[in-house]
Amino acid sequence: MFNAAAIIIILAAILVIYRLIKGPRVCDRVLAANAIGTKTVILLALIGYIYERPYFLDTALVYALINFIATIAFLKYREMGRLD
C-alpha cells in the first residue's frame, strides 16, 4: 500500500514538472518548485517507513526547512532585488 502511495506521489511530481517548465509567470514556477520539494519530503518519509530507516525522517525535516527558506528567500529577492 505504501509502495503504491509512493508511485502516485512520483507521478504527481512529474505532472508538476510541466507547470515548472511551462508556467506563464515566475510565481507559478516558484509554487511548482515548492510543490516538488514538498512531494520529495513526503517521499523521503515514505521510503523511511517502507525500509524501516527512521533517520530518513530527520533528512526529510531538514529538506523541508531548506525548501521553505529557499522559497521565501527567492520571493523576497524577486520582490526587493536584495536579501538583506
Q: 29-39: per-residue pLDDT in tens?
A: 999 999 999 99
Q: In the predicted model, what is the mean pLDDT of residues 39-67?
A: 93
Going from the C-alpha of 18 to that of each of 6, 14, 34, 39, 83, the distances in angstroms are 19, 7, 14, 15, 29
| Residues 57, 28: Cα–Cα separation, whole Å | 28
Distance of CA 83 to the CA centre of its chain: 22
Tell me how many domains the chain contains: 1
Q: How far apart are CA 65 and CA 60, in angstroms?
A: 9
Banded pLDDT at 3 (limits 50, 70, 90): confident
Q: Is 90 exceeded by the pLDDT of residue 8?
A: yes
Residue 25: what are its φ and ψ, rounded to 5°?
Answer: -125, 165
Q: What is the pLDDT of residue 60?
A: 94
Domain that holds residue 28: 2-80
Mean pLDDT for 22-48 is 92
